[in-house]
Structure 1
Amino acid sequence: MTEQLRLLHTDGRPDTASVDIAAIFDPARMTQARRLAGLTKSALAAKIGITPAAVGQWEAGTTPPRRDHLQATADILDVPITFFAIGRPHARLDESAAHFRSLRSTRASQRAKAIAFVEQVWELAYALEKRVQLPPVDLPGFSDGEISRDDLPTDPQEAARELRRYWNLGHGPIAHLVRTMETRGLLVTLIPFAGADTPCVDAFSASRLSRPIVVLAPDRADDVYRHRFTAAHELGHLLLHSDTAPGDPLQEREANLFAAEFLTPRDAIREDLPSRLDFVALDQVSKAWGVSVKSLVFRSRELGLLSDATARRAYQRLKQMENLGLITGDPVTNYPGEVPCLLSKAYALAETKGLTLVTLANELKWKLPRLRLLLGDADPRPALRLV
């Protein structure tokens, strides 16, 4: 992928720490930081020692905060005080523009936190793209955040076949799904954005920005097959449901149908599937195609190779084997092609021409740990533990 990244010119900008931030306060930044911290207006107000109405007035833009309140807020939300200044690109994404894999089990506060995270991923990509030419977005019907579905199939399985043709993927296994998505200009991230809430947010995607973004939860990354299916599921949402409101169970079923056909095309996988239930043979097919045995049982039933009763017995047997520890997931970290790297490689290339983490953090008005997190770069310092 590094070959696709080309350096562009950029101008550095001085930090604004000495400016009276309260005089150039951006209400939207307050909302973003509060949501990233997972706090309600009432909770933030209680920590500052003011009324919730005051916080509401700040975020509505009717009354700016006092300088001492702004500093206290910055400390509580763990951002530099300059974070609240106007003047930086801000991709404001409405909650209705994101497709959550587990929408009904995801609380509103978790969705708000996830949306704020996506906004920051876009900001990081925007800052890097001023210096590095990222791969252009190559997704049917997509043009710089505008969606045109006129020429796209509405049937999910036909859409999957069409995307394979469009991306010239052939009919066989897709060896590196996440890398394939990134080389087509999609932003994919595998960052623990929600902290303790991450297990409640399975995955989600957003297409109404200049680059489509797919967020995969690291808590699901202990099984590369589930991880790949989830990535394909979100790809289906981007292609099929980019201009529709999320939350419809039918959309989830369509995204699953898309993912199954995209990863295991009906006509091609039929030739590899055993004509009867054979777990050894299914395990071999699983490894070759990069999908789970469970999904292959479903595919076999769907293609008429297994009866409903046989498929049910197969699911029960698989569950028993999982409970006995005979089936364990293979972590994504063993498969570099399934670990997102577009943003980290873009930064690494820009770094060869003089960009530093400090410079980039100052430009974004983030703290260094936050920037390292979104780049997928763990803090290199050893952790001190007192016992």
Structure 2
Amino acid sequence: MSAKFNPSRLRLARVRRQLTFKSLSDRVGMSARMVSEYEKEYCKVTPPPETIEAFAHALNYPVEFFLVPEPIETVSKETVSFRSLKRMRAASEHAAIGAGQIGVMINDYFDSRFSLIPNNIPDFRGVEPEAAAEGLRAEWGLGTFSIGNMIHLLEKHGARVFSLTENTYDVDAFSFWKGDVPYVFLNTQKSGERSRFDAAHELGHLILHKHGVSQGKDAECEADKFAANFLMPKATLLPYKGKTITIDGVLSLKLNWKVSAMALIVQMKNVGVLSDWQYKSLIITAGKFGLRSREINGIEREQSIVIEKILSALESEGISLHKLAEELLLPLDEISGLLFKFGVVRNNDMPFGGSASASKVPHLRLVQ
């Protein structure tokens, strides 16, 4: 084992597994202080091969992952916009940012092999959320039609969309810019309707708060307002003003916009379709139906079409998901969890080995 140990990769693997210094040190049989020292960028002490192997075993990462000399692309906390940050534990936040770093690594690999769709997401900083939603619909030629698929729309305009299979509801979704490339990560535990709203919410962050904004209630409210108006334009709701709207009517109408019943009720109130009395009545009834946490006749979760095309192209070259994990020196669960392949493979299916060189093939262009 002659390659030099990379401390930043130890930290990334540790935070992805949501382990503290103490919990990792207990697994490898050393002091927490020593683990901390090994993570320091200018650590003067290189761990012996058996220690690196112990880290790899404890974290379920291949040994070779820790021996790549190139620095990992950093994702600054200040540039990340989290959905539902308020209830997020610090460990979940760090693990999510780690997922973002791995997403950048995967995208770099894809970008080296394929001609990916360029970014076409505008900068609307300083624009009111409602106006930004209307302006973006106009710029993208969407009119007032219902959006068929939010993930496909994001990808059509250059966003890199990844899935999250975090074992927690703490992380609903998050997004960030890395240079001129926008990234969106969506939790796969959510209902199809709520995941669509999360995707629109993160799009709001990308155009309203490009390259970071101080986290807080105001930024979240702006992204929520953008998402509601982007998915449910006021002009499409106003024809229902003055009509008797029951919960059954809401359950039928929500299918037009592919949103949750609660989101539709709130937006109808915000644009003046519902009176205060109608709104309160519908909210109470929706609560009795359990619609605050679930959907009746829900839609399927949306999937990435770009990732599906890439994986299909790689498969045709003999690069399976297992092989891709080996080439990137990543655990199979990290790859499958980010590429909408949750539940398809298990991490212990992956043999940790050295990377294999990718064969030279013509680049493909992925188009919408």
Q: Normalization by structure 1: what TM-score?
A: 0.81
Distance change in 2, residues 1:26/1:273 (3 Å): farther
Q: Distance in 2 between matches of 1:179 and 1:367?
A: 27
Q: Distance in 2 between matches of 1:345 and 1:89?
A: 29
- Provide the residue aligned with 2:84 in structure 1: 102
Question: In the alignment, residue 284 of structure 1 is paired with which amino acid?
Answer: S
Larger deviation: 85-94 or 182-191? 85-94
**Structure 1 unaligned residues grouped into runs of 5+:** 1-18, 142-148
Give the alignment partner of residue 341 of structure 1, picking from 293, 296, 305: 305
Is the 2:5–2:69 contact (alpha carbons within 8 Å) kept by the matching residues of 1?
no
Give the alignment partner of residue 120 of structure 2, picking from 129, 134, 138: 138
TM-fit CA distance, 1:113 = 0.5
Distance change in 2, residues 1:375/1:203 (3 Å): closer
TM-fit CA distance, 1:123 = 0.9
Give the alignment partner of residue 251 of structure 1, picking from 219, 226, 233: 219
Give the alignment partner of residue 199 of structure 1, picking from 169, 172, 197: 169
Q: Distance in 2 between matches of 1:266 and 1:348?
A: 40
Q: Distance in 1 between matches of 2:307 and 2:219?
A: 29
Give the alignment partner of residue 43 of structure 1, picking from 17, 20, 23: 23
**Structure 2 unaligned residues grouped into runs of 5+:** 350-368
Question: In the alignment, residue 206 of structure 1 is paired with which amino acid?
Answer: F
Q: Distance in 1 between matches of 2:6 and 2:22?
A: 20
Question: In the alignment, residue 35 of structure 1 is paired with which amino acid?
Answer: V
Q: Distance in 1 between matches of 2:326 and 2:180?
A: 23
TM-fit CA distance, 1:47 = 1.7
Q: Distance in 1 between matches of 2:194 and 2:321?
A: 33
- Provide the residue aligned with 2:253 in structure 1: 285
Deviations 1:193-222 (A, max 9, x none): x22xx222222112235522212111213x
Question: In the alignment, residue 161 of structure 1 is paired with which amino acid?
Answer: E
- Provide the residue aligned with 1:11 in structure 2: none
- 1:174 counterpart = 2:138: no
Aligned residues between the structures: 345
Q: Normalization by structure 2: what TM-score?
A: 0.85
TM-fit CA distance, 1:28 = 0.8
- Provide the residue aligned with 1:4 in structure 2: none
Question: In the alignment, residue 45 of structure 1 is paired with which amino acid?
Answer: S
Larger deviation: 353-362 or 153-162? 353-362
Query: Any residues of structure 2 matched to 1:12-27 within 5 Å, and which?
Result: 19-21=1-3, 24-27=4-7
SS in structure 1 of the partner of residue 189 of structure 2: helix
Q: Distance in 1 between matches of 2:158 and 2:130?
A: 23
TM-fit CA distance, 1:252 = 0.9
Query: Any residues of structure 2 matched to 1:349-368 within 5 Å, and which?
Result: 349-368=313-332
- 1:84 counterpart = 2:66: yes
- Provide the residue aligned with 2:135 in structure 1: 162
Q: Distance in 2 between matches of 1:345 and 1:258?
A: 30
Identity of aligned residues (%): 28
Distance change in 2, residues 1:172/1:376 (3 Å): closer
- Provide the residue aligned with 1:15 in structure 2: none
Deviations 1:322-374 (A, max 9, x none): 38x996251524xxxx2223223212113324434454333311234443333
Is the 1:26–1:84 contact (alpha carbons within 8 Å) kept by the matching residues of 2?
yes
Is the 1:274–1:282 contact (alpha carbons within 8 Å) kept by the matching residues of 2?
no
Distance change in 2, residues 1:327/1:369 (3 Å): closer
Q: Distance in 2 between matches of 1:170 and 1:89?
A: 44
Deviations 1:232-273 (A, max 9, x none): 111111111223434210111111110111011112321255
TM-fit CA distance, 1:279 = 3.4
Is the 2:162–2:184 contact (alpha carbons within 8 Å) kept by the matching residues of 1?
yes
Q: Distance in 1 between matches of 2:233 and 2:326?
A: 47
Distance change in 2, residues 1:69/1:380 (3 Å): closer
Distance change in 2, residues 1:317/1:364 (3 Å): same
Root mean square deviation, CA, Å: 2.6
Give the alignment partner of residue 211 of structure 1, picking from 166, 181, 191: 181
Q: Distance in 2 between matches of 1:226 and 1:326?
A: 9
Query: Any residues of structure 2 matched to 1:240-279 within 5 Å, and which?
Result: 240-272=208-240, 275-279=243-247
- Provide the residue aligned with 1:33 in structure 2: 13
Q: Distance in 2 between matches of 1:69 and 1:380?
A: 28
SS in structure 2 of the partner of residue 351 of structure 1: helix
Is the 2:258–2:299 contact (alpha carbons within 8 Å) kept by the matching residues of 1?
no
Question: In the alignment, residue 31 of structure 1 is paired with which amino acid?
Answer: R
Distance change in 2, residues 1:232/1:77 (3 Å): same
